[in-house]
Amino acid sequence: MGKIYLFLFFLFSISNFFGQNQKPPVFVTKVYEDLYRNLYITKKVEKPELVYITDDNSKIIEYKPSQNGSKSKLIVGSEFVKVLRTFDADSMNALAFVMGHEMAHIFLEQSDNIERIGGGYADKTLKKELKQLKDSLYSNLFERQADEYAIFYSQLGGYKTTHIADKVLDKVYEYFKLDHKLNGYPELKERKFIASSSALKMKLLLERFELANLCLMTKNYNVAVNMFEAILKEGFKSSEIYNNLGICLMLKVIQSDTIYQNYEWPLFLDSKSKLSSNSQRDIFGIDFKETLNNAIGYLKLASDDKEYKLANLNLSIAHLLMEISKEDTEVDHISECNYFLNKVSNKLSQANTLKGILAHYIGDFDQAKQILQNDSEKNVISKRNYILLFGKKQNFSISENPLNCMLKSEANLAELFFDTKGIVRDSSNYGSKPLLPSFSNISVDSKITNTMTCSRIFDKSQNTKVYFAKQNDNCENITENLLKDYSELIFESNLYKFYIFTDWIIRIDDKGTKTVYKTR
């Protein structure tokens, strides 16, 4: 009888164990992996175990720190997941917002208190554990900080949460019947205010990210670098920022000397980009070795994300630029170039472009010609390199270029801002608590007219102003074939293709929609 009892108890224990800890739904695991990957890039923190429980309908989500040798855990309740499924197409975004809160606890390393009790998005049991602490105000502060960063970490993972954050809060509090003044947390009203402020901050950061990319394309590299670095200081650290910072530094080198301009480089701007220049060497310009080493450092940070494979393409280009510079003979940069190039998929046409460039540089002209010619039909950068190195490139003056007749504007963007009427001043850095304190030296003002939406970037550290105007006229008469043939520069990214001609930028998305910018 005793043996039967023990056997039944064993079966019950096994059943109970598997009932409490089941495999999480696929979409929960995906959101977790996406958020952790970006967290690891920044902090190299231990990966918590993802635990999914089904026997506690009150459980929402909770971070448990490692204790006594046990691994840290991120515990997700099945009932909570059921609630999030009611957001339908936004289910993953809703989960990312809440999970971003927990990631913030880990990232911020909020003193010994978090290490002792952990944290939860909205947890009734936290009140009991808080009794062990001298002052629950510590927890309130930590939860407020986690709320402030929730949207940022969800955004880093690739999820859009700004439009649903307040709705998620309302749904969780209502469904789980939580007191609006939950002990150890800001009041619900304040949490919703924090979410809206964080959403506005995210909107401002994303606008500045896009403007920094435009500065990069228009050779305002120092302004672009300062803007990207300010975004990093705001806590928005991601592969894309590190990658684009590395590109800025490489472009400064390419711009500085004609020896780097024998090719059109297939750089990867958040997905892929290219730049060439006709300027002469700036003798008093930059330290090539230091600049390229800094670029390599940023690109290695970007490549820490194993999913961000194309950072390896830029690392390969950086080492080839270092080889061309002859500034560092202690490292075999051709070998390094080949090493990172071999880590890029052969299916990527930019990789083929670089293989052709590398073959030409080391003197294997037949192979270079074959690679670039074969790839010309698929990749405009390969085609332009083929014409540049082996064909007969037609040189047009600006007046002869057909784009010159199609892209015209009498507007003087600087003069437009002389008239203060209608200018929307950058308020993100003013007041007792500025939204973007790291941008204290960089302001972005805007102005809308009947024909365009204008932005003025003022980098006070360099006393430099850069202007962009998005045109209402999308120049539908300009075909992409014309842009491929007659643009001075071409950039490609994961979302757009950019064609640059004098002080114009034409952006085309994957649906063929054009956006036209004038710059100064």
CA angle in degrees (0–180, nearest 5) for 73-202-165: 60
Q: CB count, 10 Å around CB of 136?
A: 17
pLDDT for 461 equals 93
* Helix, strand or coil, per DSSP, at residue 494: coil
CB atoms within 10 A of CB 192: 19
0.95 exceeded by pTM: no
475: left (phi over 0), alpha (psi -120 to 50) or beta: left
Across the chain, what does the average pLDDT equal? 80
Select the more confidently predicted residue: 156 or 3.
156
Query: Do 294 and 357 lie in a common domain?
Result: yes
CA distance 152 to 141: 18
| Alpha helices (H) in 59-187, listed in sequence order | 78-84, 91-108, 111-117, 126-130, 137-156, 165-175
Q: What is the pLDDT of residue 188?
A: 86
Closest residue by Cα to residue 128 from 44, 48, 186, 184: 184
* CA gyration radius, the chain: 27
The reply to whether 97 falls in a domain is: yes
- Domain of 275? 238-393
> pLDDT per residue over 117-170, tens digit each?
445 556 555 444 444 443 444 456 667 777 777 777 787 677 888 888 889 889
Which residue is associated with the tokens 């650290």? 237
Same domain, 252 and 163: no
Q: Based on the structure, what is the number of domains in the chain?
A: 2
- 230 has pLDDT over 50: yes
On whether both 161 and 246 belong to a single domain, the answer is no
Residue 439 — very low, low, confident or very high, per pLDDT cuts 50/70/90? very high
Amino acid 443: pLDDT:
92
pLDDT greater than 60 at residue 2: no
Q: Residue holding tokens 């590395």?
A: 246
What pLDDT digit, counting tens, does each position of 491-504 carry? 877 677 889 888 88
Same domain flag for 26 and 172: yes
Residue 4 pLDDT exceeds 60: no
User: Is there a domain that residue 471 lies in?
Assistant: no
| pLDDT recorded at residue 11 | 39
Strands 119-120 and 442-448: unpaired
The reply to whether 441 falls in a domain is no
- For the purposes of burial, counting CB atoms within 10 Å of the CB of 285, is it exposed (0-12), middle (13-18) or buried (19 or more)? middle
User: Do the Cβ atoms of 242 and 301 come closer than 8 Å?
Assistant: yes
Cβ-contact 298, 245 below 8 angstroms: yes
If asked whether residues 28 and 175 sit together in one domain, one would say yes
472 occurs within a structural domain: no
Q: Are 386 and 324 contained in the same domain?
A: yes
Give the pLDDT score at 386. Answer: 92
Q: Do residue 114 and residue 177 come from a single domain?
A: yes
Domain boundary, last residue among 393, 424, 441? 393
Whether residue 108 sits in one domain with residue 45: yes
Token pair in block for residue 454 = 């204008």
Spatial CB neighbours of 450, under 8 Å, sequence gap ≥ 6: 472
Q: Give the three-state DSSP class for 172.
A: helix
Give 282-334 pLDDT, tens digit per residue: 333 568 889 999 999 999 988 877 777 778 999 999 999 999 999 888 999 99
Task: Give domain status of residue 451, yes or no.
Answer: no
What is the tens place of the pLDDT at every residue in 358-404?
A: 999 999 999 999 999 999 888 888 998 999 899 876 666 677 788 88
CATH of the domain at 359: 1.25.40
Does 13 have pLDDT greater than 50? no
For residue 264, give the amino acid letter: E
Same domain, 31 and 159: yes
Q: Kindly report, residue by residue over 16-64, the tens digit of the pLDDT.
A: 444 456 788 898 998 888 888 766 555 566 778 888 988 888 888 888 7
The pLDDT score that the predictor gives to residue 107 is 66
Last residue of a domain, one of 372, 393, 414: 393
Are β-strands 464-471 and 514-519 bridged in parallel, bridged antiparallel, or unpaired? antiparallel
Query: Is residue 479, in this structure, part of any structural domain at all?
Result: no
Task: Among 370, 393, 416, identify where a domain stops.
Answer: 393
Task: Look at 65 and 13; give whichever has higher pLDDT.
Answer: 65
What percentage of residues in the chain have a pLDDT greater than 90?
A: 24
pLDDT of residue 331: 92
Torsion angle, CA of 256/262/264/268, rounded to 10 degrees?
-60
